[in-house]
Structure 1
Amino acid sequence: MTDPSHTTPHHGDRWMLSLPRATLAASALIPAILLGTTGPAVAATNTLSITAVNRSGAKVAVTATVVSLATSQEYRVRTGTKRKLPKGNYAVLASIGSLNTSTTLGGKTVKVSGASKLTIDARHGKLVRLGLSPAVSGLESTVDAEICSNTGGGADSEVQSWGDATRPLYVIPTASKKIAFAAMGTWTDRSGSTDAYATLYRTTGVPSTPSRTFARSKLATMTVDSRRGPAGTNYSDVAVQPTHQGCGSYLYGSLANTDRPTTTKIHLSPGRWDIRGDLSAGAKNGQTWAIGGYTTTRTVAAGKSYFVRYFGAAWGPGFHVPMTYQGRISYPLDDMFTDPAFSGLNGNYGGAAGDKSKATLKFGGKVVKTAYDKGFGQDGPSLEYKVKKAGWYTLTNSAQRYYPEITFPKGMLSTASTVTYRFHAKPNTSVLSPVSAVQQVPAGLNGYNHAKAGSSTNVALRINRHLLWGDVKKGAAPKLKSLTTKASFDGGKTWKTAPVKKIGGVWTAVVKNPGSGAVSLRTRATYTNTGYTEVTVYRAYGIG
């Protein structure tokens, strides 16, 4: 059994931030394209020689991306060499620099038959220029562009580059429909406290004037509330990325990077975008590591307004519930610190690295299985147990934050969590266990996920039951018998019951806050079948 839809980064994964424009972060969301370095047996007479000329008229050495228009097979071809290729038609994509002062992207088609030659001349390149009307001032303006093969197979190859006021970016026009073009403009001061802009311009072929001005009145507005507290780091990046099949999906725009909470209005050209909150932290070896993040995919329309919040309070057990698969109880262990707003459903996904846990499965009061999530290097840890007898099982997973390569920030929230499921299971079945996931969502907190001292906080209790993956039957949802919530103001040593009532149709616990410290939350949903779910989040939100 595999989990093809589970996209949360596991805490064993590490990504190095090495490029100033964070193109590495963009590549984390794009499926890898197999790069062919050799093809089928070819006749010695079928070769391709490529010449590249920069904007100063000098021949330069570059490595071009050569793509078969028939098979989408991709090759790397160095200029000044004869490369043997199968006979056929190809798209040739190249990025040509000129003494670090500019870059020109060029794409052409060529038929390889015998000794074929192709020249890509950057002097034919036209300036890529994206603008806003009315224009904005006081913001850094950049443009990212890529040219792509357009084979129609959905796995387009690309080359890309970027430019700004001091480094112009050019692209060579072509009428060929086998070449596509995309450019993204961004305008920002990266503070997260002022409005930012991102626009996308896409064409089939490359126009003779690769420029476009976007009316600000025709843009959508996305308000991004980026909070602090539970993420394991104070540093986060607000970024956008076009998302669709075809040219442009590799472009990535970082619009803010700060260690403080921000509320940023991002104005976007209409279309489908990934809105990203990416996390980075300083490692103990002096490097900067990407340690996770969350993404929501939104289709935005001109003149409309949208909202997304990252890094809200009460990171706890996620939407996974146990299942019995081909007679085996199965439960993933690495879903214990999830922002309740991001479930892997409806285009929301992601996670922050850094936790470890211990899980036990009991039957008849005895432990029949113990499993561990040891953290780094363990891919997809889970508890697995073959059901021998029908009856009631109790599964408990207790987790704590764990990332020895970085230092967690002082006062971090959501430091530990626990979930317990009591459910009935039978041998030789494939069904989702008759329990629900429970998320606790505090409202009215500030940007640091703190409530005012002595105030009351409404905590929404969200009860969900989703089949996130696996070819099993979902089965009937359990009927809720009771719902109780307790709060602790001393790290879980003592607990006080909080009243639960419906507010606006949502079950809500009303917590009377202390004068300082942090609030831990524990909620139990009991079902009429005598099963239950109990979740605990330690330091769910702060005070003051």
Structure 2
Amino acid sequence: MLSFLKRSRFGRGLAVAVVPALLLGVGGAAAAATHTLTVTVVNRNGAKVNAGVRLVEVSTSSSYTMRTGTAKKLPKGTYAVLTSVTTNGTITLAGKTVKVSGSSKLTIDARQGKPVGLGLSPVPKGLQHSLTMRICTRTSASDDIEASNFTASKLYVVPNSSKYLSFAALGTWSDLSGTTDSYAVLHQTTGVPGGLGKKFNSTKLAKMRVVQKRGPSGSIYSDLAVQPQTSGCGNDLYAGLGNTDKPTITTVHVTPGTWDFRVGSSATTKTNETWVIGNYFAKRTVAAGKSYNLSFFNSAWGPGSQLPVTIRGVVQFGLNDMFADPAFPGAGSVEGGDKASAALSFGGKAVAVKQDKGWEPEATHMYYTVKKAGWYTLTNTATRWYPEITFPSGMLSTTSRVTYRFQTKPNASALAGVYSVHLSPTGLSMTNKAKPGTTTKVAIKLLRGAVDPDAKRGTDPKLSKMTAQMSPDSGKTWRTVPVGKVGGTWYATVTNPKTSAVALKVRATVAGGAYTEATVFRAYGIG
């Protein structure tokens, strides 16, 4: 159950499989085309074949598509040419450059292709090997073609040393269970190499220990993938490393550099379709031989790092960032699927209200034009809601609430003088539970970041008071718990009840009386 959402607000949609970026059409520049190019492609059996071709003019980065065997009208210039040739279950990628002037011709012969492979030493046993390769144009608007051994028994590339071409290959080894060690190595070149048989020393790879917990997610299923983040041709090549319906710990060994370690959640709908419901993107730079740690699906999912802002006298606040993993507070809500209701009050009276009824076409924001200077209180309450799927029994982080009390005035452009509050219970099990009668320390993190350049950040306010409460009965009753600072971090100490879950409420008050109060219901489980 692989997940492939773009980096945007999550919407409902079917899970899809990776499709190699082969020969999808792109528009060409509008220019006088008095010259022609005819491309002939020969497969590995020596037969001429009808193939799609991508072209990029290297000086303008204008892109075109064409079919082989037919003259294509083009502006005069030098072009990078990309194509993919399938022969008896093999794929050969080729990239060449050609000068187009008059009636130009180009032949691409897949028989010149050299085998592509990546290896590890020592070879990991019992793991499935996958390989994806790509040729890119080195132009200001890069184009590429891609192939993998998911769709071909053997992969080949036609060598070319042009400075307008580059190459990348991503190899992985995994049993796809999401529970055992996996490996991912990236190799990149300028120009296209004469084949590839590179081996990597597995002891010189970086190690990322990846923990996937359970509890707050709207599904029991998750998948793990990696994508290199690089300026080269291998940027964002995708490698799925497995999926699981259980909490897991695995170590991913990768080549040094910057990677996105991606974990996604997917669920089966009531009509038996598999839908992606959320994705993490954890970008990390790693060094050879070093070890690192990542943990996903941590309790407690609560209000994100967003703060109210006033822009040219208008208070603005988004309602949809209310279920963020405390390990990734700036990334926003982890999964789509919630309803929210917000109210802004002044002088004890509501001056603005806003609702998100769930799955609105766009993100929902509250706007209010400030008429009088003074103290304003904004409260937003969000509840998990996904009518097409059935949430797991005992799901955590079902509702969250945040209240901000801050000052603003007409014509102001400023970030509210408060902090976002994030709650991270420590010492929980892999299902985000604590044992009855034990003590749980809840780390309290304060953040203050401006996302609008027009909002003056000002001086960060000084914290004057921190209080915390817990509820063993979903908010019917609340008990004050001790709060203290250890090594620069605030902690609330909770004595755990015998009930199924604990709700948490923390208020951070700053000098002058402004405050943030964050509440998470079913913040962590007991059992």
Post-superposition Cα deviations, 1:224-248, rounded to whole Å, max 9, x if no partner, equal 1111111211111111001122301
Amino acid at match of 1:17: A
Measure the CA separation in 1 of the matches of 2:200 and 2:289: 13
Q: CA deviation at 1:375?
A: 2.6
Amino acid at match of 1:97: T
Moved more, 209-218 or 388-397: 209-218
Post-superposition Cα deviations, 1:288-332, rounded to whole Å, max 9, x if no partner, equal 222221111111111011111111001010101111111111111
Q: 1:205 to 1:15 in 2, by over 3 A?
A: farther
Q: CA deviation at 1:166?
A: 7.2
Query: For residues 269-418 of structure 1, what are the structure 2 equivalents within 5 Å?
Result: 269-344=255-330, 351-418=334-401
- Number of the residue aligned with 1:110: 98
Amino acid at match of 1:355: D
Give the gaps of 5 or more residues in structure 1: 1-6, 28-33
Secondary structure of 2:302's match?
Answer: coil
Give the gaps of 5 or more residues in structure 2: 1-5
Is the Cα–Cα contact under 8 Å of residues 324 and 425 in structure 1 kept in the other structure? yes
Q: 1:360 to 1:388 in 2, by over 3 A?
A: same
1:53 paired with 2:39, answer no
Secondary structure of 1:217's match?
Answer: helix
- Number of the residue aligned with 2:9: 10
Amino acid at match of 2:79: Y
Correspondence for 1:93 among 59, 82, 99: 82
1:40 paired with 2:38, answer no
Correspondence for 1:462 among 434, 445, 462: 445
Measure the CA separation in 1 of the matches of 2:92 and 2:25: 23
Is the Cα–Cα contact under 8 Å of residues 9 and 351 in structure 1 kept in the other structure? no
Correspondence for 2:487 among 504, 516, 522: 504
- Number of the residue aligned with 1:4: none
Secondary structure of 2:149's match?
Answer: strand
Measure the CA separation in 2 of the matches of 1:294 and 1:225: 13
1:170 paired with 2:156, answer yes
Correspondence for 1:423 among 406, 409, 413: 406
Secondary structure of 1:123's match?
Answer: helix
Q: CA deviation at 1:350?
A: 6.8
Q: 1:176 to 1:443 in 2, by over 3 A?
A: same
Measure the CA separation in 2 of the matches of 1:269 and 1:536: 41
- Number of the residue aligned with 1:523: 506
Measure the CA separation in 1 of the matches of 2:388 and 2:108: 47
Is the Cα–Cα contact under 8 Å of residues 188 and 232 in structure 2 kept in the other structure? no
Q: 1:463 to 1:304 in 2, by over 3 A?
A: same
- Number of the residue aligned with 2:127: 139
1:221 paired with 2:207, answer yes
Is the Cα–Cα contact under 8 Å of residues 325 and 333 in structure 2 kept in the other structure? no
1:450 paired with 2:433, answer yes
- Number of the residue aligned with 1:30: none
Measure the CA separation in 2 of the matches of 1:17 and 1:242: 22
Q: CA-atom RMSD, angstroms? A: 1.9
Measure the CA separation in 1 of the matches of 2:161 and 2:333: 40
Aligned residues, how many? Answer: 520
Q: 1:57 to 1:287 in 2, by over 3 A?
A: farther
Is the Cα–Cα contact under 8 Å of residues 327 and 387 in structure 1 kept in the other structure? yes
Measure the CA separation in 2 of the matches of 1:283 and 1:74: 40
Is the Cα–Cα contact under 8 Å of residues 296 and 349 in structure 1 kept in the other structure? no
1:121 paired with 2:109, answer yes
Amino acid at match of 2:15: L
Measure the CA separation in 1 of the matches of 2:209 and 2:377: 42
Q: Percent identity?
A: 51
Q: 1:68 to 1:391 in 2, by over 3 A?
A: same
Measure the CA separation in 2 of the matches of 1:140 and 1:364: 65
Secondary structure of 1:128's match?
Answer: strand
- Number of the residue aligned with 2:3: none
Post-superposition Cα deviations, 1:34-56, rounded to whole Å, max 9, x if no partner, equal 97423223234x11222222222
- Number of the residue aligned with 2:72: 83
Runs ≥4 in structure 1, deviation > 3 angstroms? none
Amino acid at match of 1:300: V
Q: CA deviation at 1:482?
A: 1.4
Q: CA deviation at 1:449?
A: 0.9
Q: 1:515 to 1:187 in 2, by over 3 A?
A: same
Q: 1:164 to 1:291 in 2, by over 3 A?
A: closer
Is the Cα–Cα contact under 8 Å of residues 304 and 333 in structure 2 kept in the other structure? no
Measure the CA separation in 2 of the matches of 1:48 and 1:453: 75
1:74 paired with 2:63, answer yes
Is the Cα–Cα contact under 8 Å of residues 293 and 350 in structure 1 kept in the other structure? no
Amino acid at match of 2:65: R
Query: For residues 474-493 of structure 1, what are the structure 2 equivalents within 5 Å?
Result: 474-493=457-476
Secondary structure of 1:56's match?
Answer: coil
Is the Cα–Cα contact under 8 Å of residues 103 and 161 in structure 1 kept in the other structure? yes
Secondary structure of 1:352's match?
Answer: coil
Is the Cα–Cα contact under 8 Å of residues 323 and 333 in structure 2 kept in the other structure? no
Q: CA deviation at 1:451?
A: 1.2
Post-superposition Cα deviations, 1:209-262, rounded to whole Å, max 9, x if no partner, equal 322100111110011111111121111111100112230114111112111111
Post-superposition Cα deviations, 1:317-365, rounded to whole Å, max 9, x if no partner, equal 0101111111111111111011111133xxx677211112010000111
Measure the CA separation in 1 of the matches of 2:448 and 2:90: 54
Is the Cα–Cα contact under 8 Å of residues 141 and 165 in structure 1 kept in the other structure? no
Post-superposition Cα deviations, 1:18-47, rounded to whole Å, max 9, x if no partner, equal 22xx459xx9xxxxxx97423223234x11
Measure the CA separation in 1 of the matches of 2:149 and 2:333: 30
Amino acid at match of 2:119: G
Amino acid at match of 1:10: R
Amino acid at match of 1:119: T
- Number of the residue aligned with 1:197: 183
Measure the CA separation in 2 of the matches of 1:18 and 1:295: 18
Measure the CA separation in 1 of the matches of 2:52 and 2:162: 22
Measure the CA separation in 2 of the matches of 1:35 and 1:297: 31
- Number of the residue aligned with 2:167: 181
Post-superposition Cα deviations, 1:67-91, rounded to whole Å, max 9, x if no partner, equal 1111112212122222211111111
- Number of the residue aligned with 1:3: none
Measure the CA separation in 2 of the matches of 1:197 and 1:159: 24
Measure the CA separation in 2 of the matches of 1:252 and 1:528: 48
1:157 paired with 2:155, answer no
Amino acid at match of 2:115: L
